[in-house]
Amino acid sequence: MSGRIPTLERIDGWRWRVPRTGAMRTEGRVFASEAQVADLAGDESLRQVANVACLPGIVGPSIAMPDIHWGYGFPIGGVAAFDPSEGVISPGGVGYDINCGVRLLSVPLGIVDLRPRLAELVDALFGAVPSGVGSARSDLRLTDPQLDRVLAGGAARAVAMGFGRDQDLEAIEAGGRLPEADPGRVSRRARERGRDQLGTLGSGNHFVEVQWVDDLLDATLGEAFGLAPGQVTVLIHTGSRGLGHQVCDDHLDTMLAAARRHGIELPDPQLACAPLGGSEARAYWGAMNAAANFAFANRQLITHHVRRTFGQIYGAGVEAGIELVYDVAHNIAKLEEHEVGGRLRRLCVHRKGATRAFPPGHPELAPRFRDSGQPVLVPGDMGRASFVLAGAPGAAAETFASCCHGAGRRLSRHAAKRAAARRDIRAELEGRGILVRAAGRATVDEEMPEAYKDVAEVVAAVAGAGLAVPVARLRPAAVVKG
């Protein structure tokens, strides 16, 4: 990365400017509170905001959400839009875990009804959804033709395979399928890595978390989303597994060569990119969309296994009553129409650790969400809370309809493990009534609550800036970690 770490200029209580200097083609814009900005002083992620602003064809500012932290190329929590005729696509603006995202289920149980058999439930979930590094399913290994159909069909293909319901699809971003996927662009190595991983969590910060609505912050929107006080919910966080990671890895070198060939000066080689419409961009685009479809299908299979597990513990009526509230991607690039300078423009929007947040009335939303706006799902950490928000007009006006995606790390994984070395994080959480099942101690230590920013403060910042409306706060009861 080049240059000094920029100093932010205050615009108002929730907006900060990274001034345009040097090779920057536009300014940066950071959404955060004053206290959050103080924590960012000297942080490398701010340099990454400035670096993204140097890429050709960028439209509007290089944007960062309040959960910003350092990432590969783009900061995590970064958003940038590019003109298709002049701009670029960058794998660093999508991330290694393509379409890492979150899915929220509503369960027809109250927290009081859940508690007596909660330990039995979390043990069963841990057995039903494989987790950990390299986790795979022994009951599902896809042939090449089967994998092609998943890569092309996404969640719809999973439903056709018997893993879900047709009505699930209208509660998924893009209907759970990106039509420009090209399975032929997915390498043999990527296929081998993903072949037996459909329906698995993976490792790191991925999880299945059983929660309940402990505060309904907007009763009207809560009713629209099917949420009520005390109701049990399940939040699923995972992505495209080894397949998506390999797709990213496969294209970095060709993107870097393309940038050199087209005379694109990169402030950081991790911003390797290619002009949109060129052969390198088309190859990555087809493979990236296919990996995103794999992730939608992955979360769909996990949903099936969660429903079935609840049915085994609490009965068939509970299984039948589990509904999909919404599913959103937060590592993706998509072609969307946005109003810029008073006119609609088709743009390639990169969201790296950021969530789409369409406001009420947006034509891409399913009819059931036209009046409410899109549900925005914001996980926190194992010990505090997660939030449900709704997209607001401010996001459409300022952030290409984007919002935060989580709490955001404040400690590296290594620092978290060091801080947890003399503690028993699992026992501490269970002492607070939160049951934890994980593949090993290292994962729990890396994901200790103190490793993350306070998600309530992140949500307060996006709400204060008018990007989203808080709907519900969800408290953890049990978590299965990757």
Locus of tokens 């490793």: 451
The DSSP H or E segment spanning 349 is strand 343-352
Pairing mode of beta strands 231-238, 207-216: antiparallel
* Residues 6 or more apart in contact with residue 370 via CB below 8 angstroms: 360, 361, 362
- CA pair distance 177, 368, nearest whole angstrom: 18
- Secondary structure class of 133 (helix, strand, coil): coil
Nearest one of 133, 67, 119 to 407, comparing CA atoms: 67
Residue 3 burial (10 A CB sphere; 0-12, 13-18, 19+): middle
CB 472, CB 213: distance < 8 Å: yes
Nearest one of 436, 444, 448, 476 to 125, comparing CA atoms: 436
Nearest one of 132, 321, 153 to 234, comparing CA atoms: 321
Active site residue 405: yes
380, HSE (Cβ side, Cα atoms, 13 Å)? 23
- CA pair distance 46, 29, nearest whole angstrom: 10
Residue 363 has a CB neighbour count (10 Å cut-off) of 7
- CA pair distance 152, 181, nearest whole angstrom: 6
Residue 88 has a CB neighbour count (10 Å cut-off) of 29
- Residue among 69, 305, 405, 414 flagged as catalytic: 405
Pairing mode of beta strands 274-275, 88-89: antiparallel
Residue 315 has a CB neighbour count (10 Å cut-off) of 12
23, HSE (Cβ side, Cα atoms, 13 Å)? 16
Give the residue numbers annotated as catalytic, written as ranges.
405
